[in-house]
Amino acid sequence: MAKTICVFTNKGGTGKTTTVTNIGYVFASQGAKVLLVDLDPQSSLSKFFLGSEAVHDLHRSQTVAALFDDTCEPTLKDLVHPTAFDNLFLTPASEHLKKHNHPEPHKLGQLQFSLQDFVAEASEHFDFVILDCPPDVSNMPTWASLLAVQFAVSPILPERFSMQAIAGVDKQLAAAREVNNRLTFLGYFLSQRRSRISLHDAIEDNLRGLQRDRVFDTVVPQTIAISEAQQMGKPITNYDNSTPAAKVTVQLAAELLGRIANISQQRRAA
């Protein structure tokens, strides 16, 4: 049975797609079978792995949009595409997803559960199913993701607007938990933090003071190595495993697993 994880927040540019790419590859390179699911109509994750032209040419029935479309009946095989990396598979998004970007998904009856059966079926074939959400917590792709997974995690930038997104993230988590009682929030992690910037130090202190153990110990620094790896079409640990950014990524993946293990232990003890 897979661990199903959604990476989400209310803001763009916080590192959701970068995180999904990099930790997905870490798990895959450790021998796990990993499915990454792109829920963002901008399709950055899909373009990273398949290339822009290939994504543009995908028929809707080969993309995640098919799961929101009553006229399609996709099988797992239709929606699971190989990547250039061993053990790492992708369910792509494309612009076909745009028309399913409903702003009030909780009013759409069964449609809001569009991802549940797919994630459940994928769970039987993979060790990890990781969902990359668009930068809006209330629209259909994120809402349907929160209703379909066991775990959620949220990257946060050390800046005011990103901190302000916390209230919206917490509100949506609470709403989703009313419907999906298996959903557990693993926490916030700081992304693109710069060292020797006193503003970032102050924001980190503030975040940890307010959110305490809801904040990951691991902090992802802003580093050129991560951008370079992306430019080369490679996950960071594949591009250069000796960089500090690669080590932090492995650490982040390990902390995520540790948090999942703690939760499972607490549940068994309860």
Ligand X SMILES: Nc1ncnc2c1ncn2[C@@H]1O[C@H](COP(=O)(O)OP(=O)(O)O)[C@@H](O)[C@H]1O
**Interacting residues with ligand X (CB under 6 A):** 12-18, 44, 135, 191-192, 220, 222-223, 226-227, 230
What residue 192 binds from Mg ion, ligand X, none (CB within 5 to 8 A, per partner kind)? ligand X
Nearer to ligand X, 179 or 199 (CB): 199
By CB under 5 A, residue 16 contacts Mg ion: yes
Per-residue b or e along 88-123, where b marks 16 or more CB atoms closer than 10 Å to that residue's CB? bbbbbbbebbeebbbeebeebeebbbbbbebbeebb
By CB under 5 A, residue 22 contacts Mg ion: no
- Six token digits for residue 92: 């792509």
CB of 61 to ligand X, least distance (A): 25
What residue 186 binds from Mg ion, ligand X, none (CB within 5 to 8 A, per partner kind)? none
Query: What is the rounded CA–CA span in Å between residue 167 and residue 184?
Result: 17
Nearer to ligand X, 44 or 142 (CB): 44
By CB under 5 A, residue 102 contacts Mg ion: no
CB of 45 to ligand X, least distance (A): 8
CB of 122 to ligand X, least distance (A): 21
Query: What is the rounded CA–CA span in Å between residue 67 and residue 195?
Result: 42
What residue 227 binds from Mg ion, ligand X, none (CB within 5 to 8 A, per partner kind)? ligand X
In the chain, what is the straight-line distance between the N-terminal and C-terminal CA atoms, in Å? 21
Q: Which of 9, 10, 17, 87 binds Mg ion (CB under 5 A)?
A: 17
Q: Where are the beta strands (DSSP E) in 39-150?
A: 81-82, 88-91, 128-132
Q: What is the DSSP letter of 262?
A: H
From 62, 60, 61, select the one nearest 82 (Cα to Cα): 62
Query: What is the rounded CA–CA span in Å between residue 26 and residue 36?
Result: 12
- Which parts of 26-85 interact with Mg ion (CB under 5 A)? 44
What residue 230 binds from Mg ion, ligand X, none (CB within 5 to 8 A, per partner kind)? ligand X
Q: List interacting residues with Mg ion (CB under 5 A).
A: 16-17, 44
